[in-house]
Amino acid sequence: MNQEDLIQMAKAGDREAIINLLKSVESAVYKTAFYYMGNEHDAKDAAQDALIRIYTKIDTFQERAKFSTWAQRITANICMDKFRKKKNEISIDGAELTVQEDFNLEQAIENKLMIKELNELILVLPENLRATMILRYFHEFSYQEISEALSLPLNTVKSYLFRAREQLQKHYQQGGVHL
């Protein structure tokens, strides 16, 4: 059964169809929530709220964008609201290390520190720039998908990404960020 059929069935009240749709976006919703919120506890809370909102609002999905894009928009909005409320309480959890045969502990630690610093830098960006960076670089959304997910004109998305990269580079050159 394809996703369009599942969407129609879910809109008609088919509980199994909506559960299948939620399962199809669950991982991406959590990943987005984690990058916004910066820690597992808040990310789980935001992801749960997003999945509940998707469940309760499936009948409002107008199918102008992909279902996953619509789900990401909901997630981003919930995270931005929660982030505004908890802005001063955010903590960053470390990134996972991938162990390979030619494992170099020194390089692995350096990579982990760079990822942590990048996450910290992204969190201090204004929310509009942060949202575009998360969708582009952590979820690999196209510019068009970002435009749809955040309800922004395509040129605005391009501008936000350019400004975000400029700000990240500026912060990095100044020695990073101190939260």
Across 96-100, 111-115, 150-154, the highest mean pLDDT is recorded for: 150-154
What's the total number of domains in the chain? Answer: 2
Whether 84 is covered by a domain: the verdict is yes
Domain that holds residue 56: 3-88
Q: What does the mean pLDDT of the chain come to?
A: 79
Residue 44 shares a structural domain with residue 113: no
CATH number of the domain enclosing 53: 1.10.1740.10
Of 10-14, 69-73, 118-122, 165-169, least confident by mean pLDDT is 118-122
pLDDT in tens, 128-170: 898 898 888 878 888 998 998 888 999 999 999 999 888 888 8
Local confidence band at 112 (pLDDT 50, 70, 90 cut-offs): low
Residue 84 shares a structural domain with residue 156: no
pLDDT of residue 96: 39
Local confidence band at 89 (pLDDT 50, 70, 90 cut-offs): very low
Whether 96 is covered by a domain: the verdict is no
pTM exceeds 0.75, yes or no: no
Across 36-40, 71-75, 86-90, the highest mean pLDDT is recorded for: 71-75
Local confidence band at 111 (pLDDT 50, 70, 90 cut-offs): low
Mark which of 53, 88, 123 sits at the end of a domain. Answer: 88
Q: Please tell me the total number of residues recorded for the chain in this structure.
A: 179
- Own/partner pairs, 41-48, CB within 8 angstroms, 24+ separation: 42/82, 42/86, 42/90, 45/82, 46/75, 46/78, 46/79, 46/82, 47/75
pLDDT of residue 175: 66
Residue 31 shares a structural domain with residue 84: yes
Interatomic CA distance for residues 87 and 179, integer angstroms: 11
pLDDT of residue 114: 66
Whether 116 is covered by a domain: the verdict is yes
Of 12-26, 48-62, 98-112, 151-165, least confident by mean pLDDT is 98-112
Mark which of 56, 88, 120 sits at the end of a domain. Answer: 88
pLDDT of residue 90: 37
Residue 73 shares a structural domain with residue 125: no
Residue 74 shares a structural domain with residue 8: yes
Whether 178 is covered by a domain: the verdict is no
Residue 11 shares a structural domain with residue 45: yes
CATH number of the domain enclosing 110: 1.10.10.10
Whether 109 is covered by a domain: the verdict is yes
Of 67-81, 96-110, 120-134, 144-158, least confident by mean pLDDT is 96-110
